[in-house]
Amino acid sequence: MSRAALYDRVGGPEVLRVAEVDDPAPGPGEVAVRVRAAGLNPVDAKLRSGAFPSDSPFPRRPGADLAGTVEDVGPGASYWDGTAIEVGDEVVGRGQGSIAERAVAQASDLVRRPAELPVETAGGLDIAGLTAVSCLATIPIGAGDTVLVGGAAGAVGLIASQLALRTGASVIGTASERNHDFLRSLGVVPLAYGEGLAERLAGHEITAVIDCHGRDALDAGVSIGVPVDGMVAIADHEAVAELGVRNVEREARTAENLARLVDDLAAGSLVLPVAATYSLDEVREAFATLEGSHAPGKVVVLP
């Protein structure tokens, strides 16, 4: 037996509880991971609240991002590149109901975690990192571009901004005032988000928009004449249909790309701060922070 976060009905963080569950056993192509860190993502909160519908039976287990140690290996399990995955491997990726002491994952979704990469950083990487990679794959960006990143202090926005800067593009990122100095330290030009954003962009020739926050960056992009095929939305799906902007493509959500992000973080050439960490027993507080905080980076549970 091990412990996991569960909820029996949709609602706020108060519906979450921690209980003993049977240890999940890995099936073909799967491994069981002793979870050492599990990052929280907005999608986890939206599923729990009912904002995103689900037909999964209750009780449900939240979470996908994880970093931890392989404890059991199912038949035919291997990494994305075909190499063997073994008990004791330190891994990064995503699993099923990862806000728990133990979770099952597809071995091909995991990559090795180097010792240089802190486990709490690794545990919050998969969804945010691969979403950021996917944004740049959806609207290719290069030298000469000026990219507006809406919600640049969130995990997706931070990684997308850094990846865009690597291409030689300039990046303007919206964020709350408290995060402006941090964005400047990365090379991002910070702006306040919200009403009047189009006016604050005066003098900047924006060529692309990546919206990781809401729709204010998309509306601003439309108002200043950025072509809709140069704008991508991850947070406001209604804007995709209404404005005709691009929905983020999924082809780049691969373990190979995750491995590159892991190497970059381990080498220090990519930064992903951890905003706050909580124990498994503090899972309600962790979700409250996720849903109310404007601090840069990830909220992570350390089971």
Residues 102 and 174 in one domain: no
Tens place of pLDDT per residue across the chain (303 aa): 999 999 999 999 999 999 999 998 999 999 999 999 999 999 999 999 999 999 999 999 999 999 999 999 999 999 999 999 999 999 999 999 999 999 999 999 999 999 999 999 999 999 999 999 999 999 989 999 999 999 999 999 999 999 999 999 999 999 999 999 999 999 999 999 888 999 999 989 999 999 998 789 999 999 999 999 999 998 777 888 898 899 888 899 999 999 999 999 999 999 999 999 999 999 999 999 999 877 889 999 999
Closest by Cα among 69, 130, 75 to 259: 130
Residues 54 and 119 in one domain: yes
Range of the domain at 98: 2-125+272-302
Residues 88 and 175 in one domain: no
Residues 87 and 139 in one domain: no
Residues 132 and 182 in one domain: yes
Inside any domain, residue 290: yes
Residues 220 and 136 in one domain: yes
Residues 140 and 166 in one domain: yes
Inside any domain, residue 240: yes
Residues 35 and 147 in one domain: no
Inside any domain, residue 65: yes
Residues 101 and 191 in one domain: no
Residues 227 and 135 in one domain: yes
The CATH number that applies at residue 279 is 3.90.180.10
The rounded distance, in Å, linking the Cα atoms of 185 and 189 is 9
Residues 103 and 152 in one domain: no
For the chain, what is the domain count?
Answer: 2
Inside any domain, residue 266: no
224 in Cβ contact with 205 (< 8 Å): no
The rounded distance, in Å, linking the Cα atoms of 47 and 127 is 15
Inside any domain, residue 258: no
| Three-state secondary structure readout of 266-289 | HHCCCCCCEEEEEEHHHHHHHHHH
> Dihedral sign, CA of 61, 62, 63, 67?
negative
Residues 41 and 113 in one domain: yes
212 in Cβ contact with 161 (< 8 Å): no
The rounded distance, in Å, linking the Cα atoms of 217 and 220 is 5
Inside any domain, residue 255: no
Domain boundary among 231, 247, 263: 247
